[in-house]
Amino acid sequence: MATVEDVLESVTQKQASKYKTIEVQKDIEPQLDLGNLLTVDQNPLELKKFRADKEAYLKSQARDNTQLLFNAIWKLPTERVEEAICVKLPETTTVLPREKPIPKAKPPTRWEQYALLKGIQKRKKGRMVWDEESKEWRPRWGYKRANDDTKDWVIEVPGNADPNEDQFEKRMKAKKERIAKNELQRLRNIARATKSKVPGVGLTPTEKPSKEEVGLALHLAKKSTASLGKFTEKLPKEKEAKHVGKKRKFEPAIGDFKKEKEQQLNIINVMENKKPKLDITKAVNRVIIQQDQDASDERRKRGGKVKNRRGPPRKKGAGGFGKKGKAGKGKGQKGMGGKGKGKMGKGKGKGKGR
């Protein structure tokens, strides 16, 4: 008769055969890349076991390497997130090729920034909710969702509503407005993150629209009629919108033959007139500029300095009638040819004044 110890020993042996130990011994320590959850085993294969049963041998090697990887992961610091134990993986050490770059983290929206500032935590809603009409659990969103009001075949008209108003159309219009509002809010978040303007046309809902934005929105609203604004009345003191494209006007294919004949004759006259129109003023200015440049080039070649002078250069030491000592070095108004210092010039001039 088997004793209690024998029974316990047999149970432990069965469990040991069913579950292997977490301690794995390798001759060569495998390389672990925890960032990529990668294990590189460089140990040589045991050919006898491999040839005897290939599948079982490969499964045992994969199991041992995976066990080593999990042993290294459990040594990392852990944290609890929504009733789940998570581990922050370190940086990768093995460079793996990628078709596209790593996606960047999305910038937080305005509501996410406000919730982070106020400490508001997001509560996860359940996927299934109770439907009162069908008396069963149904998805909150999507196909066959619970409390789906689009399947109603009759809608009660409120007491304060117009009895001739289509409530189905009103409900569909409200849904489209909600969708458009959500899309606009999404574009605003993207524009705020990238520091750019909100895409779209017309007047986007802003706190303080500018005068040009209001004028553009008014122009687009007028053009949205069936007649493209042809019969829309203008407001008093209304001005035309700026930066608005104008429709091109084409001549009719048939109609005014006299006007068409004049256009064709003008084209022929331009083609026959080989001499282009001459702008005399422009041509004269070009010639004067060219002459000045040639003169300055000649002076540079001679080694002289080029100065801007209004009149012809004066000769050195030219004695004359002595206009305040500019020519000779005389004193007085008439300078009698004596040697002295003039008021303006410094050259030595010899002349006989009258």
Between 325 and 160, residue with greater pLDDT: 160
- Which three-class secondary structure state does DSSP give residue 257? helix
The predicted-structure confidence for 23-79, as pLDDT tens digits, reads as follows 888 888 888 998 889 999 888 888 888 889 889 889 988 998 999 999 999 899 888
- Give the whole-angstrom CA distance, residue 222 versus residue 232: 7
User: 204 pLDDT band (50/70/90 cuts)?
Assistant: low
Stronger pLDDT, 15 or 288, i.e. the higher one:
288
Distance between CA atoms of residues 255 and 41, nearest Å: 88
What does the pLDDT read at residue 316?
A: 52
Instruction: Dump pLDDT digits (tens) for 177-190.
Output: 999 999 888 888 88
Strands 38-40 and 31-33 turn out to be: antiparallel
pLDDT at site 352: 47
pLDDT tens digits, one per residue of 212-229: 777 778 888 888 888 878
Could you identify the residue written with the tokens 């080593």? 68
Position 206 scores a pLDDT of: 64
Task: Assign 252 to helix, strand or coil.
Answer: coil
> Quick one: which of 296, 290, 317 has its CA closest to 308?
296
For residues 192-209, give the mean pLDDT: 66
pLDDT band of residue 304 (cuts 50, 70, 90) is low
Q: Is 8 exposed, middle or buried (CB count within 10 Å of its CB: 0-12, 13-18, 19+)?
A: exposed
Domain chopping of the chain, boundaries: 19-87
- Residue from 238, 200, 237 nearest 218 by CA: 238
Specify the pLDDT at position 177: 92
Q: What is the pLDDT of residues 238-297, one digit of tens each?
A: 777 766 667 777 777 777 788 888 888 988 888 877 666 678 888 889 999 999 999 998
pLDDT value of residue 153: 82
pLDDT at 339: 46
Rounded CA-CA distance 335/344 in Å is 13
pLDDT in tens, 307-343: 555 555 555 544 444 444 444 444 444 444 444 444 4
